[in-house]
Amino acid sequence: MRFSQMLIPTLRDAPKEAELISHKLLVRAGFIRSAAAGIYTLLPLGQRVRLKIEKIIREEMDAIGGQEISMPIVQPAELWQESGRWYQYGPELVRFKDRAERELILATTHEEAVTDIVRREIRSYRQVPLVLYQIQTKFRDEPRPRGGLIRVREFTMKDAYSFHSSEDDLDAFYPKIRQAYEKIFRRCGLDPVIVQGDPGLIGGRDSHEFMVLSDAGEDQVALCEHCGYAANRGIAKLFKAPANPTEPMLPLEEVATPGCESIQALSEFLKIAPSRTAKAVFCVAHETDLLFAVIRGDLEVSETKLANAIGARTLRTATEAEIRSIGAVPGYASPVGLPKQSTVKIIVDDSVIAERNLVSGANREGFHLKNVNYGRDFIADVVADIALAREGDPCLTCQSPLVLKNALELGHIFKLGTRYSEAMGAKVLTKDGSEKFLIMGCYGIGVGRLLAAVVEAHHDEKGIIWPEEIAPFQIILLVLNTDRAEQTELAEKMYALLRSAGLEVLYDDRAESAGVKFNDADLIGIPYRITIGPRNTQNKTIELRRRRDGAKRELSYAQGLDALVQELRAELARTPQAPV
């Protein structure tokens, strides 16, 4: 392709709102343009990269038996009402009516749609396992889109769904999809970290996220460098050694604690460790359900774990008025002695269960209770692990300190079980003639986010450095003086020969200065650059420069351009790929 005929609107400066390097570089290099908040147009270079990523995805999905389909982004509301997610999703799910007043949605994902297909078409256990996938547009009305393609409202996703006759069959398939995902990301030039993930509203019993460690990441992962444990921070487990499990229960005692509205102030005033206190945290789920979380004072509450413990989509912090409405006092709240008519739901972290004689609020301004014990003085509606992992907290498996790192999520896989098949009546006949709900899995990759993550991992101060397999072109050919016949003649011959050899070439034939062409070539990030200038025509050579490390070679074409092309092909074949 000739540069002069292609839409590549490079910019000297990034837009002011761009914070992440991938956002800045993809805009500056002419790969993307914003259409609205969280909605982007892929320009020709961006589209070429996306299509190459999708090609890799298709190859790896097909290799494990995936069959590609295409489902509509507009779906009838009744499917989502059947699954129950119509009532769980908030404003991020776009709902509307057609001219016949039928309720419709813009799909954020396609579990309901694919389950509807399968329940109508699959009858027997002999027709499974079945793996269906698509690469298709989704829409999620994110309240705070950010980072260019990192968090958007309209996006392209590869979503796959598998159907099985048994849990054992799903368990046998799961490692195959996991390995396929690893291959996809490595072929794109990334080295993923696989961590235990949060199923969220998708549901299911097992979930793994594929992360790439990055300062630009909006997620955090908890890693144990000793035993290899890895999990999303929101659900990571930690070892909670009881601080005082053997002491006999002592009688409740109210003590004056003026001005002690925080765990730190309380610990200093009573001269006790924070682990000897019970912390109160108030949240609201489903807009109206007040939650009273109780956790040991040296720990923090994970919002993700707390939401999962009671099946909530999101939580918000309770107001002072909401806390007082149940008879609790902010800063001095306690699960002990709440009025019996209180509608609050009490969720207690498992760290509290094993402790003895904790200090808790007294639900009276300026006072706390000593010797509070679970079971004797209060009980929970739900007991669960709701503790948030922190840097240095002990690993649950080996007690070594956990490390927290920022990461970008590339993909997510789930074992759904019968979450959707049971809700929507997707059954098959078994060998003995009985009916059984299908066992499901689902598996997603955000294509645009993957593209941006590659840029976050592969760039320098000059621009993008594309891995060879997904680069928009393999070679960029520069002619430095378009007004010099000998240079343009050689460049045209080189361009024709490279293309006839099946190589992807961007030919910069613009009447621009050498500096502009060199800067644009580095900004766009094509793996190899061939330069033809005055010295090359005099010496009968071309200059081949590798973008990754700047290494240059002078190659002779005295023995014919065909031989030169063969050498270039060999050079491209030697380009290091992602680790295997």
pLDDT in tens, 319-331: 999 999 998 999 9
483/40 Cα distance (integer angstroms): 38
pLDDT tens digits for 415-473?
Answer: 999 999 999 999 999 988 899 999 999 999 999 999 999 999 999 999 999 999 999 99
For the beta carbon of residue 256, count every other beta carbon within 10 angstroms. Answer: 11
pLDDT category, 90, cuts 50, 70, 90? confident
On whether the 473-573 domain is CATH 3.90.1150.10, my answer is no
Q: What is the pLDDT of residue 218?
A: 85
User: DSSP letters along 115-163, please?
Assistant: HHHHHHH--BGGG-SEEEEEEEEEE---SS-BTTTTB-SEEEEEEEEEE
SS3 assignment, position 192: coil
DSSP-derived secondary structure for 260-275: --SHHHHHHHHT--GG
- CATH 3.40.50.800 range(s) for the chain read 473-573
CA distance 91 to 106: 12
- Tell whether the torsion through CA atoms of 551, 552, 557 and 559 is positive or negative: negative
CA atoms of 212 and 191, how far apart (whole Å): 7
C-alpha torsion 211→214→216→221, nearest 10: 50
The domain covering 253-384 belongs, at the CATH homologous superfamily level, to YbaK/aminoacyl-tRNA synthetase-associated domain (3.90.960.10)
If one counts every other C-beta atom within 10 angstroms of the C-beta of residue 311, the result is 11
> What stretch(es) of the chain map to CATH 3.90.960.10?
253-384
pTM above 0.75, yes or no: yes
pLDDT value for 243: 80
Phi-psi region of 430 (alpha: psi -120 to 50; beta: other; left: phi over 0): beta
pLDDT tens for 16-41 read: 889 999 999 999 999 999 999 999 99
Structure confidence by residue, pLDDT tens digits, 270-296: 999 999 999 999 999 877 889 999 999
Query: Which residues pair with residue 372 across a beta bridge?
Result: 358
Fold that domain 17-224+407-456 belongs to in CATH? BirA Bifunctional Protein; domain 2 (3.30.930)
Residue 117 tokens read as 């297909």
The CB-side HSE value for 203 (13 A sphere, CA atoms) comes to: 19
| CATH 3.30.930.10, the chain: domain bounds | 17-224+407-456
Q: Which two tokens stand for residue 466?
A: 């594309």
Token pair 């769980």 is found at 88
Residue 468: helix, strand or coil by DSSP? helix
